[in-house]
Structure 1
Amino acid sequence: MNQLSDYHRDRVQAVLAASPLVPVIAIQNAEDALPLCRALVDGGIRVLEITLRTEHGVRAIEQIRKAIPEAWVGAGTVTSIAQYRQVESAGAQFVITPGVTEAILEFGVTSEAPLLPGISTVSELMMGYAFGYREFKFFPAEVSGGIPAIKAFSGPFPDVTFCPTGGINRKTAADYLALKNVKAVGGSWLTPADAIAAGRWGEITDIARASLADL
């Protein structure tokens, strides 16, 4: 079994250290990608998770990587090795999955784009742990036990840290970040659909800035 390198772990740790809040971005219209991401960065967000929940995700990663070099730009909702290869070619600087398979964990060990694997159970965590992963996305956080679950993980796995995502909002983000084994929190409250649809980019900047100030 191949083992995760220090290089990959260092890169993932750098991503999680760059911003305590990671917006979960689903691009519904291609022309929104750049102004939306620029609005988030203007509000102080330094990590952008562009999901593959829509057909525009891969192209948006290419576009944002070139246009906003000061941000970490990665891919979320990656569910297959084919998608992993696509986003790697598009220039993704990290990859986040909602769950894990042994094949994806193994691919991530040698990928150019380091992997933050998604887990919701101890068994999935142990699968990733065997490959050398120590940083995980905890998803869907709220329905998988939330803060009590993450606290419980720290007993048998004191060297593991998390980026919980799923059901977290601006009011609860700080409570998650108060845990020693949480390095960042992901959420979609930073990208409200109505503001994006109306092109209210200043509102998104204000939400990002205020959300960071709450922490």
Structure 2
Amino acid sequence: MNDALRILQRAAPVMPVAHFHSLEHAQACAELFAEAKVPTVEVTLRHPQAWQMVKIFKDTMPLAKIGVGTVVNRRQMLRAADEADFVISPGFSAELSILARKTLTPYIPGIATATELMAAMKEEHSVFKCFPAAAVGGVALLKALSAPFPDVTFCPTGGISLANYQAYLALESVACVGGSWIVPSEEELQKDRDSFLAMLKDLYKS
């Protein structure tokens, strides 16, 4: 079993796709996730202080696997190899794939079409982020791709919500889904932290 597949299986059923508005927001979410025993988190590089946020999660959640998402270039990949447990991209890059192998970094590339899937499989990938899942066909697309590519595993992300995530998880090819809907805003943390904590504990109960 490869490391990327282990990451997705560990993350099940939902990997938080986390974009924070401030370091304080990141710290509060890290503390919440630690209390709920969330096993895996993807911290996206969408904020100027994103790398500091990755460190916050690594320090606050030492037992979890902390990944870096939205990795799109060589510089980001090399830094993520040093500072995170795994890397996720919105698309596929052969260059990033080569760097991941050289640095022994679990890498989950993004795909949206059969052509992209075949290009990534040529670089010996079998575990993928499907992004943006809902916009490119959702459950129907993943069902269609699973027929000609029975040995691949997906983490669909983009447009996933409380209302539809179980439909994705029902697919044999889906190990987990990625979702921002389980990452509370600063306002939600202040108003209803206990409800989020209860939801997370229920989601990740074994």
Provide the TM-score with structure 1 as the length reference. Answer: 0.87
CA distance in 2, matches of 1:199, 1:10: 41
Residue matched to 2:36: 43
- SS of the equivalent of 2:54 reads helix
Shift, 1:107, TM fit: 1.8
Tell me what 1:192 maps to: 184
SS of 1:207's partner is helix
Partner amino acid, structure 2, of 1:73: I
SS of residue paired to 1:49? strand
Residue in structure 2 matching 1:56, options 49, 54, 58: 49
| Residue of structure 2 aligned with 1:95, choices 87, 98, 107 | 87
Select the residue among 6, 22, 31 that pairs with 1:29.
22
2:116 is matched with which residue: 121, 124, 127?
Answer: 124
Question: In the TM superposition, what are the counterparts of 1:1-215 in structure 2 within 5 Å?
Answer: 10-20=2-12, 21-90=14-83, 92-195=84-187, 198=190, 200-212=192-204
Quote the offset at 1:150 in angstroms.
Answer: 0.4
Amino acid at match of 1:17: Q
- The aligned amino acid for 2:180 is S
Greater shift, 64-73 or 47-56, is seen at: 64-73
How many angstroms apart in 2 are the aligned matches of 1:12 and 1:133?
9
Change (3 A) 1:84 1:199: farther
What secondary structure is seen at the aligned counterpart in 2 of 1:132?
coil
Q: CA deviation at 1:62?
A: 1.9
Deviates more, 1:97-106 or 1:164-173: 97-106
Residue 112 of structure 1 deviates from its aligned partner by 3.2
Contact kept, 8 Å, 2:78 with 2:99, in 1: the verdict is: no
Over the aligned positions, Cα root-mean-square deviation in angstroms equals 2.0
Structure 1: runs of 5 or more not aligned: 1-8
Q: Distance between the aligned counterparts of 1:36 and 1:200, measured in 2?
A: 13
| Letter in structure 2 aligned against 1:24 | V
2-structure distance, mates of 1:196, 1:28: 13
Deviating more after overlay: 19-28 vs 190-199: 190-199
Residues 49-104 of structure 1: CA deviation (Å, up to 9, x unaligned): 000011122112123212311111010111111111122222x1000001112212
In structure 2, runs of 5+ residues without a counterpart are: none
Q: Which runs of 4+ in 1 moved over 6 A?
A: none
Contact (CA 8 Å) 2:44, 2:70: kept in 1 or not?
A: yes
CA 1:197–1:28 in 2, change beyond 3 Å: closer, same or farther? farther
CA offset at residue 176 of structure 1?
0.4
SS at match of 2:2: helix
Residues paired across the two proteins, number: 205
